[in-house]
A = this chain, B = another copy of it.
């Protein structure tokens, strides 16, 4: 519930309405699971606003599939067929992005990641979506495949109403600095500690 109290009023020359609707850069980071789950939960709210959702998963395998993918694909279909909610695009790096004519190699992840970011940059510059989920995007940043300064520059200069949600461990400090909202999910108690293994419907 929106019950938070504003603690300071910034001297940024914006009206409350402008400030209220300022698009956010959100980072879900930290060592625990739940980062992507929380990001997709946020995207659900955007879908309900009729916003166009673009998900870009920087994962190594195209076979990797989380339950959220099917759910969002179903919601995208609801939009296409009935007009309810927003449009949904879901892209995975895996063995080559779906928009790319280049056959994926499953070997040159660095090149795939660079290509993914180039496309996201184009879309942001064209204001293609209202919600971007860049899932596991911190890894190509961490490994130096994609230039952090360029990412921060593109994200901070983005126009219109484009919310960007980035997930992954070890978000670089420059990204944290640029973000409006940084969340970390902390484990207090986890079944893995008690010998529980990952299970369908819960972990993926």
Binding site for B on A (CB under 8 A): 1-2, 4-10, 12, 16, 19-22, 24, 29-30, 32-34, 36-42, 44-49, 51, 59, 64, 66-68, 70-71, 74-75, 77-78, 84-85, 131, 163, 176, 179-204
Contact = CB atoms under 8 A, between A and B. Distances in A.
Given A1-B64, A20-B196, A84-B74, A44 B40 contact: yes
Given A45-B66, A49-B200, A186 B183 contact: yes
22 contacts: A1-B59, A2-B197, A6-B196, A7-B195, A10-B194, A12-B195, A19-B195, A20-B196, A21-B199, A22-B191, A34-B185, A37-B42, A39-B41, A45-B204, A46-B67, A46-B201, A49-B67, A71-B75, A176-B188, A180-B189, A183-B188, A185-B186
B20 A199 contact: yes
Contacts of A36: 41
Given A36-B41, A45-B202, A181-B189, 8 more contacts: A16-B197, A19-B197, A34-B183, A48-B67, A49-B200, A181-B191, A182-B189, A182-B190
Q: Taking the full assembly, how many copies of this chain does it contain?
A: 2
A33 B28 CA distance: 13
Given A2-B204, A44-B40, A204-B45, A85 B71 contact: yes
A193 B180 CA distance: 10
Nearest to A26: B202
8 tightest CB-CB pairs across the interface, nearest first? A2-B198, A45-B67, A48-B67, A41-B41, A37-B41, A182-B188, A49-B201, A10-B195
Nearest to A3: B198
B180 A184 contact: no
